């Protein structure tokens, strides 16, 4: 393995651990399980020596890091049945569409289901 590729592997290892700390901040169990899983995966592939395979694994690690950073949120139970979501700044936020109850009632009452267009 070239030094450049070795550096990429180490950077991906550090980056995925860093995102683990950010995503699961304050959750001791998730932090420990995440550390364990990441270390297992890197150790499992420690003996791969084909440069193309190593590059594929590095790309996979980057995809996992992106998924954790941009798609995983933490929710904590603050009281029975009530949860508070911890949404970080790097989580993409989408525009919400206002629910229109009248639209649903019109569809239920129409003789041909789906014939009423509502937005």
User: How far apart, in whole angstroms, are the C-alpha atoms of residue 103 and residue 119?
Assistant: 8
Lowest mean per-residue pLDDT among 8-12, 49-53, 69-73: 69-73
pTM above 0.75, yes or no: no
Extents of the domains making up the chain: 3-86
3-class DSSP state of 89: coil
Lowest mean per-residue pLDDT among 1-15, 32-46, 75-89: 75-89
As given in the structure block, the two tokens for residue 6 are 């070795």
């Amino acid at each position: 393995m070239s030094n450049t590729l070795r550096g990429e592997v180490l950077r991906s290892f550090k980056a995925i651990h860093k995102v683990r700390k950010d995503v699961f901040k304050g959750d001791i169990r998730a932090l420990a399980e995440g550390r364990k899983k990441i270390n297992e995966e890197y150790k499992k592939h420690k003996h791969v020596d084909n440069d193309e395979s190593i590059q594929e694994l590095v790309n996979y690690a980057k995809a996992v890091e992106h998924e954790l950073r941009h798609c995983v949120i933490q929710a904590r139970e603050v009281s029975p049945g009530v949860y508070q979501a911890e949404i970080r700044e790097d989580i993409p936020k989408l525009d919400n569409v206002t629910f229109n109850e009248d639209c649903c009632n019109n569809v239920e009452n129409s003789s041909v289901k789906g014939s009423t267009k509502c937005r």
